[in-house]
Structure 1
Amino acid sequence: MIDFGSFLIFCAVSCAAYYYVNREKNKKNFEIANKLPGINGLSLFESFYIILTTPRKEYINKVLSYVRDDVPLTRATFFNQTIILTKDADFINKVFNSPKTYNKPDLFYKGFMTTKGLITLAGSEHKRHRKVLNKAFTSKMMQRLPDIFDDKSKKIIKNLCQVENCGEFELLEFIGPYSLETFGKSNLNYEIQYHKSDIFHAYDKYSSVATDYLPYSMFGLAKNILSPTPLGKRIKDVFNKFNIYFDDVVKVNKENENNNFIENTAIDILLDPVNGFTDEEVKDELIMMLLGAFETSTRIISMVLMMVGMNKDVQHKIVTELNEVYNEDKDAAFSADFLMKFPYLEMVIKETMRLFAVVPMVARETSDEVEICGHVLPKNTTILISIYAMQREKKYWGDDADQFRPERFEDGVKNPHAWAPFTGGSRICIGYRYAMMAMKIFLINFFRTYEVNCKQKFDEIETEMTMTLNFLTGYKVSINRR
């Protein structure tokens, strides 16, 4: 049997050897990086300590504590890796649009535990997947969505009758199934009762599980190694539910491939032999796309309802806008053009997404030496981008940047690049138009039916950073019929 103390010594020596060999190998890159404005690097052991001891609700503040305000980027060294930290809108925009910062670093994205989906793929493979899957989100495909969103939102809103006039309740239990049902109907040719489904609970837990796994992935530990641990069992439970659900989706679609399913839905594209997706690619893409649909729509709709419930003047303006539009045409049908008639509601959504960036941090990696905003970044540099901090930066949003004020979007923003909840460039969220349409239609139907109230105060909201931004204090509101 291997002595545990000897094993620890072996691990320490191996890590140290890797650290110094890697540093010598990348000596040129370190010389370039040292010319960038920054802070002293963290030692190997400091890196370990920070990862393992920082509470999730402190992740954002911990990262931002290293970011300087007088320069557009801050260099740090973390685990022998050069990292650029930034919240500068112009710098971030150039990163999103440079072909040399197209890829995402394994250091942060291994935590998703999928390697063949759009969120984590790199280079030519990402471009191949993106090019083919774009067909599912064209303007033509979007035209068929309003009826689906309308039908599903009315179903969920009807279900809310069980909690009206009954005090506070948890929004996610209702909004989550809406997000899953709309994607299941619109892109998977698959319908079940999602509020009773294991897939709903799997996605509700996934971000938290992935965040807990992230430190282990940074140290190169595969998820299977953790199988005997409580975390390993949580991971296994989530992925077992994923596998059961997606196996059934694929089975149903293959059994009915001769039926008149709509062409170029996501599942149609993924299962078409012409596109050459492997079984692993199909499953990973489905996991990531449904995650995007679930996390974005579910959390933002819930956040919007809380913000409106706290601000009666905002709610009054929304209802006034709805009344004005529907007084002109009480039987109007949803369409992209019709949704343009609700500019104030859109401002409310945008302001909520500004304050609470659902994806608070994203990362890119340089594939070659590149100059951005007058600074030369070496190859293999990780760029950690704080969307959260940028969208609360006072130089872009004014002294009230930390307050909820939808009207700030009325006259345009000082820097259009400072609002990027869906990121930007060629890797912008593939379903951003889908998400905005789904949210608008749900909220229009909701506010035509209910008044929302939220006892919680804005300053009392506590957040934590999992793979997405989460309200630690919950998503509780009460509703009354209009």
Structure 2
Amino acid sequence: MFVFQSLLTFLLTTLVFYVIKFRWSRRRLYELAAKLPGDNGVPLLGILHKLAIAKREDYMDIVLSYIRNDTPITRVWLGPFLVVATKAPEVMHAVFNSPQCYDKPSIFYGSLFFTEGLIPLSGKTHERHRKIFNKAFTPKRLQELYGIIKDRAEVCVKKLEPRVNQEEFDVYYYIGACSLESFGAANLNFHDDLYGHEMLPYADAGFAIGMKRIQQPWLNNEFIFRNSKISKEFDYMMVLVQEYVSKVVNYNNQLTIETNGANKVDKVIDLLLDPKHDFTDQEILDEMIVFALTSFDSTAKTLSSGLLMLAMHQDIQQKLINEIDSICGTEKELTFDNDFLQRFTYLDLIVKETIRLFPAGPIVARETSDEIDICGYKIPKKTIMVMSIFAMQRDPKYWGDDAHLYRPERFENLENPQAYLPFTGGKRMCIGYRYAMIVMKTFLINFFRNYKIDTTLKYEDLKLEMSLVLTILNRYMISIKKR
């Protein structure tokens, strides 16, 4: 008994010592945190327990409930991590423009399965990758891609013909296949028929798995993860994705040999495989996954959300059709380029309003590398800055009492442009935003030259999931008719 009591006393003393040491080493963080408005939550856990057990459809509401209206920032705790949340545009712009807020918190982005890709990368490594890939999206390069994007949009329109006058269906996987094929043809020198491909639903689930690991940090432990229900789904998804990536890389390596390198024109795949950029095999794999999944998931879900909104708002849909008909007329062959797309002013409003209500990245996070002053508050080093673009872009303070409604005309006279961030992370962080806009606008023009759409879903009944990419849990259900 004496031995047991001595051991217990030693363990408790050691634990108390390390707790005191831990808190003492973070005394400056606690000192500054106490001066910030917010909620400490449950001792030791903060609000971690609420997020860990939240259902998919409730996660968004829980997070947003901690972002207050009476202050530009709100303090919360995720276990030992200090989080400062905001929906204020002045705070977001300050964060995105600060060199002290360039890092990405590992508690969030370290949970992803492509840690060597642009999305989770931080600091100088991210800056290096970003500068390299910017070469693939210059105005000159984009001008060369219009024809390819138009061709893939036309293919998708034809693939949809069997759905005419049929029951409602989830249009997302058609749009996803179109987006991924467009990116493959435009930037990977590669084309594969992806309509109905089993990779699509698994790729769709990929971000959900990453979000699950963020919600439940213990899933980042390899042993626990390997014994979880989502492990097998994750493994099979990775097999499918890696097969696709291997096909692309092998095809391009062979193409380089056959053409003696004459095919290289700063496409994404050219930049990845260029020896002078010295990408590791893991970086090549992870960047391929990032570009494939973002072109498939981010662009496709934004575009699918736009179609669903137009199906719900018949008057807006008809106004878009009228604009398309007035510009395109009865011409069967049209030349798509930047000047041509700029003529579609109402289409531009529709895309912007869709991105406002359904931003691909509803919440983004950065970590402070040093103390920083923001809006009169001193934010400690190693603070996680959580910015809800979703909440900001639906806030009546910036968008009026009808902020929750779908009204493209509001962009004819935008009163608070600072409250609109169509690219997560600010312009400095944006890769491929203009490319995505070309894909979306080109598809919508080709689609509505052929079809009209409807849906039985109601706007007020939509349930959203705050995953890494905003997802409508009701799915993107529409019915189509020939015009």
Q: TM-score, normalised by structure 1?
A: 0.93
Q: Which whole-Å CA distance do the structure 2 matches of 1:456 and 1:419 have between them? A: 27
1:460 aligns with 2:461: yes
Task: State the partner residue of 1:289.
Answer: 291
DSSP 3-state at the match of 1:479 = strand
Q: Which whole-Å CA distance do the structure 1 matches of 2:428 and 2:80 have between them? A: 27
Structure 2: gaps (5+ residues): 1-10
- Could you tell me how far 1:21 is from its partner in structure 2? 3.9
DSSP 3-state at the match of 1:211 = helix
Task: State the partner residue of 1:8.
Answer: none
Q: Percent of aligned positions with the same letter in both sequences?
A: 39
Task: State the partner residue of 1:407.
Answer: 409
Residue type of the alignment partner of 2:115: T
Deviates more, 1:174-183 or 1:38-47: 38-47
Structure 1: gaps (5+ residues): 1-10
Residue type of the alignment partner of 1:236: D
- 1:234 to 1:79, Cα distance in 2 relative to 1, 3 A: same
DSSP 3-state at the match of 1:456 = coil
Match of residue 268, structure 1, among 267, 270, 275 = 270
1:363 aligns with 2:389: no
Count of paired positions: 471
DSSP 3-state at the match of 1:119 = coil
Task: State the partner residue of 1:477.
Answer: 478
Q: Which deviations, in whole Å up to 9, do the C-alpha atoms of 1:88-141 show, x marking residues without a partner?
A: 011111111111111111111122122211111111111111111111111111
Task: State the partner residue of 2:436.
Answer: 435
Q: Which whole-Å CA distance do the structure 1 matches of 2:141 and 2:69 have between them? A: 43
Q: Which deviations, in whole Å up to 9, do the C-alpha atoms of 1:301-321 show, x marking residues without a partner?
A: 111111111111101110111
Q: Which whole-Å CA distance do the structure 1 matches of 2:16 and 2:78 have between them? A: 14
Task: Give the RMSD, CA atoms, in angstroms.
Answer: 2.2
- 1:459 to 1:220, Cα distance in 2 relative to 1, 3 A: closer
Task: State the partner residue of 2:185.
Answer: 185
Task: State the partner residue of 1:319.
Answer: 321
Q: Which whole-Å CA distance do the structure 2 matches of 1:23 and 1:417 have between them? A: 38
Q: Which whole-Å CA distance do the structure 2 matches of 1:402 and 1:446 have between them? A: 26
Conserved? CA contact 2:45–2:78, under 8 Å: no
Q: Which whole-Å CA distance do the structure 1 matches of 2:67 and 2:318 have between them? A: 40
- 1:213 to 1:13, Cα distance in 2 relative to 1, 3 A: farther
Match of residue 384, structure 2, among 382, 385, 390 = 382
Conserved? CA contact 1:450–1:481, under 8 Å: yes
Q: Which whole-Å CA distance do the structure 1 matches of 2:310 and 2:463 have between them? A: 18
Q: Which whole-Å CA distance do the structure 2 matches of 1:310 and 1:42 have between them? A: 42
Q: Which whole-Å CA distance do the structure 2 matches of 1:308 and 1:256 have between them? A: 42
- 1:149 to 1:25, Cα distance in 2 relative to 1, 3 A: same
Conserved? CA contact 1:359–1:421, under 8 Å: no
- Could you tell me how far 1:226 is from its partner in structure 2? 1.9
Residue type of the alignment partner of 1:455: T
Task: State the partner residue of 1:240.
Answer: 239
1:136 aligns with 2:142: no
Conserved? CA contact 1:309–1:454, under 8 Å: yes
Q: TM-score, normalised by structure 2?
A: 0.93
Task: State the partner residue of 2:6.
Answer: none
1:127 aligns with 2:127: yes
- Could you tell me how far 1:19 is from its partner in structure 2? 5.8
Q: Which deviations, in whole Å up to 9, do the C-alpha atoms of 1:42-74 show, x marking residues without a partner?
A: 323454422321112111211121122111101
Q: Which structure 1 residue ranges, 4+ long, deviate > 6 Å from structure 2?
A: 11-18
Q: Which whole-Å CA distance do the structure 1 matches of 2:145 and 2:19 have between them? A: 52
Q: Which whole-Å CA distance do the structure 2 matches of 1:409 and 1:403 have between them? A: 13
